[in-house]
Amino acid sequence: MKLLRFGAPGSEKPGLMDASGQIRDLSGVIADFDAAALSPDGLARLAALDTASLPVVPADTRLGPCVPRPSHFIAVGLNYVDHAHESNMPIPSEPIVFSKAPSSLSGPTDPVLIPAGSQKSDWEVEIAFVIGTPAFRVTEAEALDHVAGYCICNDVSERSYQLERGGQWLKGKSLPTFGPVGPWLVTRDEVGDVQNLGLWLDVNGERRQTGTTSVMIFGIAHLVSYLSQFMRLEAGDIVTTGTPPGVGMGMKPPMFLKAGDVMTLGIEGLGEQRQEVREFA
């Protein structure tokens, strides 16, 4: 299934994309994609619905984040060898883990708002997974059983805040709109081999990033198991798993986002996003 949320910011309703590409309203069935809906039983109930009986949502309706604001919005850094090289950082021996503020979450076509005068705002196409069943100290063999599905995340980053202001990376990762996810959450059963998906990102129609999840340093099963050693992952938590090479920071000379730029990005089987860059005061 392709699960999504639609409507005005803060008032999104749950929906799904049917086989013909129409958005169907699930708000008469569930209130939102909460822990019950994302559990294996909850997803099975949604999969058994007669989608033709559900109300059709107009095609031009705004899509919000594909899951509600999570308790944790976790990110993994330097998870592709070539991205570590372009960042002039060592290959990690264990996953580099940091947080994005849950308030950074935004929809897949919402504008990305960068600080006025920002000189180093950057793009990062990533595959993210959403937890469906709580995970604490799970093995790698059972890890994917705890995943509800996968989606695209643009891990927008203000590099001067991230790398030049001391402390933790989350300062450069957490501004409002710096976490577009969606357009939909694709359930695990429809994704196939999650470690063999192509990723891409363009800025103003020019290709910046091309990659594949097959060369991630730490695969998704490993990440679920690894993170669960340090925390209890809850249903609805989002974990975005790192970006392939081609970020603005790694270009020679570096190139960063400015107001008016348009990012388009996608992952094989998971859809596409589009964001226009704007400034906020």
Q: What is the pLDDT at residue 135?
A: 98
Kindly give, in sequence order, each residue whose CB lies less than 8 Å from that of residue 257, ignoring residues fewer than 6 positions away: 112, 114, 118, 121, 122, 123, 203, 248, 263, 277
For the chain, which residues make up each domain, given as ranges? 65-280
Q: What is the pLDDT at residue 88?
A: 82
The mean pLDDT of the chain is 96
Q: Answer whether 0.85 is exceeded by the pTM.
A: yes
Instruction: Give the DSSP letter string of 264-275.
Output: EEEETTTEEEEE
Contact by Cβ (8 Å): 119, 75:
no
Residue 269 has pLDDT above 90, yes or no: yes
Q: What is the pLDDT at residue 1?
A: 98
Q: What is the pLDDT at residue 81?
A: 85
Mean pLDDT of 206-223: 97
Mean pLDDT of 50-61: 96
Mean pLDDT of 78-89: 84
Mean pLDDT of 68-93: 90
Mean pLDDT of 123-132: 98
Q: Which of 147, 157, 137, 155 is nearest to 225 (CA)?
A: 137
pLDDT digits (tens, 9 = 90+) for 18-47: 999 999 999 999 999 999 999 999 999 999
Residue 281 has pLDDT above 80, yes or no: no
Mean pLDDT of 109-136: 96
pLDDT digits (tens, 9 = 90+) for 155-188: 999 999 999 998 889 999 999 999 999 999 999 9
Residues facing residue 216 across a β-bridge? 80
pLDDT band at 143 (very low <50, low <70, confident <90, very high): very high
Measure the CA–CA gap between 227 and 86, rounded to whole angstroms.
Answer: 26
Question: Residue written as tokens 């920071």?
Answer: 249
Kindly give, in sequence order, each residue whose CB lies less than 8 Å from that of residue 19, ignoring residues fewer than 6 positions away: 51
Domain 65-280, what fold?
A: Fumarylacetoacetate hydrolase; domain 2 (3.90.850)
To the nearest whole percent, how much of the chain has pLDDT over 90? 93
Q: What is the pLDDT at residue 89?
A: 78
